[in-house]
A and B are shown apart, each in its own frame.
Chain A
Amino acid sequence: MTIAGIELLPTAGTIALGLVGVALFLAALRLFRGPALADRVVALELIASLMVGAIAVISIVGEQPILIDVAIALALVGFLGAVAFARYMEKGTTATRTFDDPEED
């Protein structure tokens, strides 16, 4: 579809890729600034979500429908990473915890 001599979808896709690039930069800013470990994990989680969206846009711009499999795999890895990080944060900070508690899991 063409409007005023401009291919609509490639233009929209290019603009969208620019916007997602800015979003990735902002997320990386939060990743570097922190301040807490949780902030960095939030930023990493956001970067995973942003990459899923970016891959979807790239698959449209590049006419490669197969790339959606990459998006699915990345979403899966991002979820597993978030869960693993959350477990690590939760268990890694309980060094003072009493392990002789009989009701402990």
Chain B
Amino acid sequence: MLDLLASVLVLLGALLMLLAAVGVVRMPDVYTRMQASTKAASLGAGTALLAVAFHFPEASVVVRAVLAIGFIFLTAPISAHMIVRAAYFMGVPLWERSTVDDLEGRYDHAAHRLASPAWVQSSRGEQSGDG
């Protein structure tokens, strides 16, 4: 029974990792590629590690597998955010059919700083008074 569960998890993890790679090849720009690869690949690796935990039901292996899953789920979003942030600062273009860029006009390339545009800051100051 545990073998059946581990087999299903291994195949599911491999399919998720394949899906992530297909996303990285097929998606149109860095930002969509990142969101395709990070989530699917970390879930796939986590599923495969869970299969290891089910296949070797000993305390030492299970604890290590759970630790590895926790580490992956903790660090994958951080590294994805850092890479995409650096890509945006480098000026990697969005896909031409992207409709929303919330940071447009808010990044100062010369000073390397993110800020709201002047009209947002002034209207905020008038409404709340604390800026």
Q: Tell me the A residues contacting B by CB distance below 8 Å.
A: 1, 8-9, 11-13, 15-17, 19-20, 22-27, 29-30, 36-39, 41-43, 45-46, 49-50, 52-54, 56-57, 59-60, 65, 68-69, 71-72, 75-76, 78-79, 82-83, 85-87, 89-90, 93-94, 96-98, 101
Query: Do residues B41 and A38 form an inter-chain contact, with CB atoms below 8 A?
Result: no
Note all chain B residues with C-beta closer than 8 A to A79: 71, 75, 78-79
Query: Do residues A38 and B30 form an inter-chain contact, with CB atoms below 8 A?
Result: yes
Q: How many A-B residue pairs have CB under 8 A?
A: 204
Evaluate whether A98 and B10 lie within 8 angstroms (CB atoms) in the complex, with A19-B15, A37-B90, A65-B56 already known. no
Query: Do residues B33 and A39 form an inter-chain contact, with CB atoms below 8 A?
Result: yes
B:36-76 near A, CB below 8 Å: 37-38, 41-42, 44-45, 47-49, 51-52, 55-56, 58, 60-61, 64-65, 67-68, 71-72, 75-76
Query: Do residues A8 and B4 form an inter-chain contact, with CB atoms below 8 A?
Result: yes
Taking chain A's interface residues, is the majority helix, strand, or loop, or is none over half, making it mixed? helix
Note all chain B residues with C-beta closer than 8 A to A39: 30, 33
Note all chain A residues with C-beta closer than 8 A to B15: 19
Choose from B24, B25, B45, B86 the contact partner of A38 (Cβ within 8 Å): B86
